[in-house]
Structure 1
Amino acid sequence: MRLMQNPRTDARPLYRERLAPSLRLLATVALAGPMVSLIFVPVGSTVALVIGGAVSAILVLGFIAMTPVVLVEGTVLRAGRAHIEAHHLGEPVALTGEEATHARGPGLPANGWHLIRGGIDGIVVVPNIDPDDPVETWTISSRTPDRLAAAIRAARP
């Protein structure tokens, strides 16, 4: 008897990206540890160092663990906590540079779903064509906006 390891052809997501914070932000967060350790110096320098190191590690790991994930799996787009069936989506537009800056700023629609992260230049704007949904567009940060746009196109019928 032959066993197949992965009988489903669509088992892997078309696209997956964790919008992790930049190294600069993680370094800034990690500086809270030395500040906390100063509070415990009167107790003892070893205790202060251990507590400061633990605070830094917990904060950095917490920031990484709480980062949103953008996922295109099957016919569903997930952006953080939100998800939408791909047949409700129009043609995605991948933007970088000045166009992405405009889309994140003055071009950002008020009644859209936004998953925007600082330090990530690329952005994908996808119109929502569902007439019953009040959300007009989905605006999603991505380090590889072309790949995300392609995955959304592939997920649509």
Structure 2
Amino acid sequence: MGHPGVRSWLPYAVVVPLAVLMLWRAGRTPVAVRDGKLLVADANLPLEHVGEVQVVEAKDKRRVLGPHLDPAAFVVHRGWVGPVVRVRVTDPADPTPYWLFSTRHPERVAAALRSTSRT
């Protein structure tokens, strides 16, 4: 039933923490407002093209991700994160009508976007 000693537990000591680390890294999507841009994952939107900012609570998320989702929208959705933020894109040259992304702190992101878009 296996080998005694180090060979029996070493694979678990290496593989289990490695799998946990990989899952943790895969679940992290950075969302930030800095340097005049909204940054979500690898995408960025200049703040001068930020229009209406709306926080969608977890209970309404299914509606905005389901039948009311525009296929041209930029979506970064993580199912285990409750609320999402919808940001209207005002750039007429951009075919993306809005961004929809999950964040654990939607009110902070919305407040940052609203304050920077007014200045």
Indicate the TM-score class for this superposition, using the shorter chain for normalisation: 0.7 to 0.9
For the 8 Å contact 1:74–1:155, the answer to whether it is kept is no
| Partner in structure 2 of residue 13 of structure 1 | none
Q: Give the distance between the partners of 2:74 and 2:97, measured in 1 at CA.
A: 8
Deviation at 1:71, TM superposition (A): 0.8
Task: Give the 3-state SS of the residue equivalent to 1:72 in structure 2.
Answer: strand
Aligned length: 117
TM-score normalised to structure 2 length: 0.87
| Partner in structure 1 of residue 7 of structure 2 | 47
For the 8 Å contact 1:71–1:78, the answer to whether it is kept is yes
Amino acid at match of 1:48: S
1:79 corresponds, among 17, 35, 40, to 40
Q: Give the distance between the partners of 2:21 and 2:59, measured in 1 at CA.
A: 32
User: Percent identity between the aligned chains?
Assistant: 26
1:141 corresponds, among 91, 95, 102, to 102
Amino acid at match of 2:71: A
For the 8 Å contact 2:58–2:84, the answer to whether it is kept is no
Amino acid at match of 2:78: R
Structure number with the higher strand fraction is 2
Task: Give the 3-state SS of the residue equivalent to 2:113 in structure 1.
Answer: helix
For the 8 Å contact 1:90–1:126, the answer to whether it is kept is yes
TM-score normalised to structure 1 length: 0.68
Deviation at 1:114, TM superposition (A): 0.6
C-alpha RMSD over aligned residues: 1.7
Deviates more, 1:114-123 or 1:49-58: 49-58
Q: Which has the larger radius of gyration?
A: 1
Task: Give the 3-state SS of the residue equivalent to 1:90 in structure 2.
Answer: strand
| Partner in structure 2 of residue 129 of structure 1 | 90
Specify every segment of 5 or more residues in structure 1 that has no aligned partner in the other structure, as ranges.
1-40
Deviation at 1:53, TM superposition (A): 2.3
Q: Give the distance between the partners of 1:139 and 1:152, measured in 2 at CA.
A: 14
Deviation at 1:107, TM superposition (A): 2.0
Amino acid at match of 1:92: V
2:23 corresponds, among 57, 63, 73, to 63
Deviation at 1:44, TM superposition (A): 4.0
Deviates more, 1:136-145 or 1:63-72: 63-72
Q: Give the distance between the partners of 1:47 and 1:154, measured in 2 at CA.
A: 58
Amino acid at match of 1:56: V
